Amino acid sequence: MVQDYSFPTEDYLLLGKITKAHGMRGEVKIFSYSGQPANIKAYKELVLVGSRGDLTGPLAVLSCKVQGKTAIVRLDSITDRNQSEDVEGLGVLIAKKHLPDLTEDEFYWHQYVGKTVADFNKRDIGKIETIFSNGTQDIMVIRAGDQEILVPISKSIIVKESDGKITINPPPGLLELYTDSDCERDK
């Protein structure tokens, strides 16, 4: 589960969390919340954030290698084991202005969060609360009242996008999984 960190969300994105120190030269293991630790290689600098919202200055990424579901990263000014242990548990941020450019078919998760989702009949389903990766694909979590509706993100399902709305064409029966009231009738 993603730990809460307080930071200026208009300027930064939360990439992950430093899970532990690695080695003796100040490297740290970073767990990537997107499930794609290799993406950290593309970033020139990162910012760390504590649970109370205290931010470090920008730290240059000196090296990065992927190990399973984590990235082993060496950051500027963290040069020994003691310093890397001191940053365990901190959140890892990237400034939005430093995000790499995307191709036409790509998007950043933060660009979808908060958008309204509608079906082909222009009926609003709910708003995207968060997105996560299940290891195979990205899943959007749509908040519809007190219900969560999980919908895969794919070209075949997302048929139209605008600034504030996404129109989907879900597979038959997907939305009904979340609105089926058979359980209520059995009571």
| Cross-sheet strand order for the sheet of 138-144 | 147-152, 138-144, 124-133, 116-118, 165-168, 158-161
- For residue 47, the cross-strand partners are 93
126: its two tokens? 């709910």
User: What's the pLDDT score for residue 99?
Assistant: 83
Mean pLDDT by groups of 10 residues along the chain of 187 residues: 77 94 96 88 94 93 94 96 97 90 78 90 91 85 93 90 89 83 46
Residue corresponding to tokens 């930071």? 7
186: its two tokens? 């059995």
CATH of 12-98, one of 3.30.930.10, 3.40.190.10, 2.40.30.60, 3.40.50.460: 2.40.30.60
User: What's the pLDDT score for residue 161?
Assistant: 87
Residue corresponding to tokens 């708003």? 127
Domain at 109-179: CATH architecture: Roll (2.30)
User: What's the pLDDT score for residue 176?
Assistant: 86
Spans of all domains in the chain: 12-98, 109-179
pTM, 2 dp: 0.69
User: What's the pLDDT score for residue 121?
Assistant: 85
Whole-number Å distance between alpha carbons of 134 and 142 = 16
Whole-number Å distance between alpha carbons of 29 and 18 = 6
Tell me how crowded residue 128 is: count the other CB atoms within 10 A of its CB: 22
- Check: CB of residue 132 under 8 Å from CB of residue 141: yes
Whole-number Å distance between alpha carbons of 31 and 108 = 18
- For residue 95, the cross-strand partners are 12
